[in-house]
Amino acid sequence: MPKYAWMFPNPGAYLSGSLAPLVSSGSELHTTLKQIDTIAAEYGWNPVAPLLLQDEATDESGPESFWLAFYSTSLVVAEAFMEAGVPSDVLLGHSSGEVTALVVAGSITPADGARLLCERIRAVDEMALPEGAMVAVKAPVRRVEHMCQAVGDGSLAVAVDNGPRQVVVSGRDHAITRLERLAEALDVQATRLAAPGAFHNPILTGAAQRFAQATAHIPVQTPVRRVYSPQLGRYITDVAAIRELLAGLLVLPVGFRNALTTLYDEEVETFIECGAKSTLSDLVPQILPASARAIPTLTGRVQAHTLKQTLRALAADSTNDDISSPWTPHPPPGHRPGSTGADHAVSSSAPASTAAPAPRSTMPDTIAAPIDAVPTAPATLQQSQEATVPPVGERTPSAGLPSRDEIVAQIKQVYADMLDYPLEVFEDDVDLEGDLGVSSLKQTQAFVKLLDAYRLPTPTSEIRIVTYRTIRQVADLIEQIGTQG
C-alpha cells in the first residue's frame, strides 16, 4: 500500500499571522510558542509568537523571523496533522527542517529544538569567518561540480542538491562571484541567495565543532517515528545517528533529491508539506514520476482557516482502498462550487493522486533556497521560492496601454481564470501569496500572460515579479514597463 511522508521545510517557510486560527490562548500549542519565545530571549532575539499569531504588521527584520518562525509554524501544523489523523510513514526534513522532524519524532523537546537552532547561528557568528555566500545554479549537479572545479577555489562546495535543475553552491563571497561570472559565460542561470554565510560547507567545520560542544548537554532520544535524513543519506534509528546529524548540521550537504528517490523506491508516493508555503512540494514533481503526490497544506493565510477540514479530508482519503480516487481540498471562502482550488491544497489541478509536473520549457523553476538562505528580495518577503520573469519570445512594444481601471480589471481576470477563483477575492491590496497562496510560479505565469496581452517587452532580470505582492503593485509594474517600452 502506498506510504506517506511528512516534509518539514527550511527557514523562510512561514506566513505572518497564519497561526492565529490554529492556536488558541492557553492551549498546549500556545504554551509551546511561549517556550520558544523564552529561548529566543536568552539569545537576545525578539519573540516569534506575535509574528505568527497577529494579523497586524509585525517587524520581520530580526533573526527570530527567519530562524524560528519556520520551526514554530511546522510544529503547529504537525499538531494539526496528528489531530486529523494524517498518516505518516516517514518524516523528512530539509536543512534546518531536520531539527523539526526530530522534534515531531519525539527525539528532542520543542524548547530544545529552538535552542539547537539558536546555538547553530551563534556558533557561526562567534567564529567571525570571512564573508560567505550561496548561489542557486540551474544545472545538474555533475555540471555544477565541474563548474566549481573550473573556478579553482577550494571553498566552493555543492551545498544542496534539490533536483536535476536546481543545485545550490556555497563558498567564500569572492569565489561565488567568480562562479556567477562563469555561469553567465556558459549561459547558465545562477541566482545569488541572501544567505548569512556559506552553509553546508566544510569551511564551517570550526563552527560545527563549537556547535556540537555547546549542545552536547541537550538530551536526545531514539525517534518514535521513522525519520529519514537527507544530510546523512539514511534513516535515523538511534541516538548515535542523531548526534552524528547534529555534528554535521552546518557542514554536510543536503541530498534532498536522493532522499525523495529513495523514499519513492520504498513505496512512499504521497509527500505532504508540514509547514507554510509550497517550497518542497514544488520540488517533488521535478524529481519523481507523476504517480507521486505533492501536497502543500498552508500556502496562504486563507488556508489556515480551513486547514483542519482539509487535513480531515486528506486523512479520510488515506483510508480509501482506491488510492487513485480524487481528493478535493476545502476551497477558500467565496470559491465557486465544483472548483478544486488547485493552487492551494494540491500542487496541480489534477486529482491529488497524481501531481502534475511543473512546466519545464517556458517557465523557470522555483529556487528553494533550501538551507539557510532566501533569494535576494525585500526582507519582509523572506521568500524561499522566487521566480524570475522569463523571456517568452519577441514582443513588439505596446503602442499604448488602456486605462488604469482596465489594467486592474484585466489582472484580476487573468488570476481568476488561472486559479478558478471568483473575481471578488482579488481585491486591489490582497497579498497574492500571503492571503491567497498564489505561488511564485503562478505569479510568473500570470505576468507573462499580461505581457503578451499588452504586447509589452520582457523586463530585465533584475525585476522579480514575486516582489510585487498585490494587484495594485502588479498594475504599477505594467504601467512602468509600458511607459519605458
pLDDT at residue 205 in the model: 97
DSSP class of residue 431? -
Tell me how far CA of residue 231 lies from CA of 97, 116, 236, 241, in angstroms: 11, 17, 11, 11
Tell me how far CA of residue 346 lies from CA of 30, 70, 446, in angstroms: 28, 20, 19
pLDDT at residue 55 in the model: 63
pLDDT at residue 346 in the model: 27
Q: Are 19 and 276 in contact (CB under 8 A)?
A: no
**Whole-prediction pTM:** 0.72
Maximum average pLDDT range among 325-329, 421-425, 452-456 = 452-456
Higher pLDDT, 375 or 16: 16
d(CA 113, CA 151): 38
Encode pLDDT of 38-75 as tens digits. Answer: 999 999 999 999 999 986 556 676 788 888 999 999 99
- Region 403-416: mean pLDDT is 91
Residue 169 clears pLDDT 90, i.e. is over it: yes
Encode pLDDT of 238-251 as tens digits. Answer: 999 999 999 999 99
d(CA 231, CA 473): 40
Question: Scanning the structure block, which residue is given the C-alpha cell 552553509?
Answer: 199
Encode pLDDT of 429-484 as tens digits. Answer: 888 877 777 776 678 778 888 888 888 887 765 677 778 889 999 999 998 888 87
Residue 270 clears pLDDT 50, i.e. is over it: yes
- Region 9-33: mean pLDDT is 92
Higher pLDDT, 165 or 433: 165
Residue 367 clears pLDDT 50, i.e. is over it: no
pLDDT at residue 457 in the model: 84
What cell numbers appear for 347 in the block? 500542487
pLDDT at residue 118 in the model: 97
Residue 320: which pLDDT band, with cuts at 50, 70 and 90?
Answer: low
pLDDT at residue 324 in the model: 32
Encode pLDDT of 146-161 as tens digits. Answer: 999 999 999 999 999 9
Maximum average pLDDT range among 63-67, 110-114, 188-192, 384-388 = 110-114
Q: What is the DSSP string of 348-414?
A: SSS-TTS-PPPP-SSSPPP----SS--BSS-TTT--S---PPPP-S--PPPS----HHHHHHHHHHH
Residue 287 clears pLDDT 80, i.e. is over it: yes
Encode pLDDT of 345-359 as tens digits. Answer: 223 333 333 333 333
Residue 263: which pLDDT band, with cuts at 50, 70 and 90?
Answer: very high
pLDDT at residue 300 in the model: 86
Residues 6+ apart with CB under 8 A from 74: 8, 9, 13, 97, 100, 104, 274, 275
pLDDT at residue 100 in the model: 98
pLDDT at residue 198 in the model: 95
Residue 129 clears pLDDT 70, i.e. is over it: yes
Domains annotated for the chain, with CATH where assigned, are 3-126+205-345 (3.40.366.10), 128-200 (3.30.70.250), 404-484 (1.10.1200.10)
Q: What percent of the chain has pLDDT over 70?
A: 80
